[in-house]
Structure 1
Amino acid sequence: MKTTVIIGGSKGIGFAITKELLATNKVIVISRTAPDLEHQNLTHYTCDVLTDELPEIESIDGLVYCPGSINLKPITRLSIEDFKEDFEINVIGAVKTIKHYLNAIKKGTNPSIVLFSTVATKLGMPYHASIATAKAGVEGLVKSLGAELAPNIRINAIAPTVTNTDLAAKLLRNDKMIENIKERHPLKRFLDPKDVAHMASFLLSEKTLNMSGQILEIDCGIVNFKL
């Protein structure tokens, strides 16, 4: 049974990935709060990835870094601290995690790392300056490490559009806003966390042994179509 470590696996997309993998993986969730779930294959460590020491793990087959932010403000209201905080949680946290667990990942079987970007790095969107900048850093990290860690470790990122999680609650807080979000997408829908979990599971699997350095958009058509 493979061992998959999920940073931030207690809520939102991370929790959906945890549930997706539990039947077939030993899942180690590292997060500030415990997932509302019990399973014989689940282990949880309470940890803030930015401030605490990460637990030691002997061998890792899959690593998923889920922490992120949705800090949407006009540039006039974005402080330098906003940019720093978004970069810290999205990029520095991922770097810290990968560096800490790199030796354990090298011991894994066909190891795979999955990070998260956003459609806002490809589609210019107002009020996304801070988060798009941070996630562009994630994409650069994926490309660079994909080359550096080849051929033994794969690393890819998922770039989802709006996903129905607590993090996106402000964007989906009433029926009118929900309808507006749907209408903006050519497929007339937005994402459920399980949609993203399916993709993460795919990237962790041996079905993607030939994929590394990729940014996979799950966008309901919003990036590539104009209807």
Structure 2
Amino acid sequence: MKKYLIIGGSKGISKAVVQQLSHRGDFCYVISRTTPDYDFNGTHFALNVLTEELPAIENLDGLVYGIGTINLKPFHRLQVDDFQNDWQINVLGAVKVVQHYLSQLKSAEQASIVLFSSVAAQRGMPFHASIGAAKGAVEGLVKSLAAELAPKIRVNAIAPSIVDTPLAAGILRNDTIKENMIAKHPLKRILNPEEVAKTAVFLLGEDSHGITGQILVQDNGLISISN
């Protein structure tokens, strides 16, 4: 049985990661501000990773930092606080968690860290200046850590297009908007949390032992295929 730490496991993609890991018999430490509304194999810590002290955990085989932001505004309306908030949640939160649990990850025979980027860091999109900048930093962090922590710890990120989660509910707020989003993707669909979680679980496991320093784009063909 492997032991994994999931940050933000009460909803969305992180929730699906916890459910999938639990289903296969792994143990999950879950840190989120709200209590999960589902049963899983593990322990929950109710706290804000950005502002509160992280709990002591003895052994870890992997870590998923699954909290993020979707802050879409025209550039002229963005304030410095917007950039700072996106940076704090997406970048500095991940730095804090990885640094805190680095010794536990190094103690494993081989460990894996999974972070989350976005297609907005790889394709220019209107109204994405703040989140695009933050996720670009996440991608740089992934590559730097992968180089520094090899061969004991693998570090990768997933860069999805929009996923039908509570975080994206404000964007996918009606059927017309959903249909427009679907039309923009060559595969004519929107990602669901479960399929992105499967990618994260793959990156945590033994089948991905040859993968590190990578940004896995999961976007229904949005970036690389002409629509």
Task: Give the TM-score, by structure 1 length.
Answer: 0.98
**Separation in structure 2 between the aligned mates of residue 98 and residue 204 of structure 1, nearest angstrom:** 15
> What CA RMSD, in Å, does the superposition of the two structures yield over aligned residues?
0.7
**Separation in structure 1 between the aligned mates of residue 155 and residue 57 of structure 2, nearest angstrom:** 19
**Separation in structure 1 between the aligned mates of residue 109 and residue 9 of structure 2, nearest angstrom:** 22
Corresponding residue for 1:218? 218
Contact 2:158 2:215 in 1 (8 A): yes
**Separation in structure 2 between the aligned mates of residue 150 and residue 55 of structure 1, nearest angstrom:** 26
Deviation at 1:219, TM superposition (A): 0.6
**Separation in structure 1 between the aligned mates of residue 109 and residue 70 of structure 2, nearest angstrom:** 34
Contact 1:110 1:206 in 2 (8 A): no
- Fraction of identical pairs, as percent: 55
SS of residue paired to 2:170 = helix
**Separation in structure 2 between the aligned mates of residue 109 and residue 63 of structure 1, nearest angstrom:** 14
Alignment of 1:81-100 (within 5 A): 81-100=81-100
1:190-216 deviation line (CA, Å, top 9, x unaligned): 100001000001000000111100000
Which runs of 5 or more structure 1 residues have no equivalent in the other structure?
none
SS of residue paired to 2:75 = coil
Deviation at 1:38, TM superposition (A): 2.1
Runs of 4+ in 1 over 3 A off after TM superposition: none
Corresponding residue for 1:154? 154
Deviation at 1:170, TM superposition (A): 1.6
**Separation in structure 2 between the aligned mates of residue 109 and residue 28 of structure 1, nearest angstrom:** 19
**Separation in structure 1 between the aligned mates of residue 81 and residue 99 of structure 2, nearest angstrom:** 25
Corresponding residue for 1:185? 185
Corresponding residue for 2:32? 31
Q: Say whether 1:145 aligns with 2:145.
A: yes
Task: Give the TM-score, by structure 2 length.
Answer: 0.98
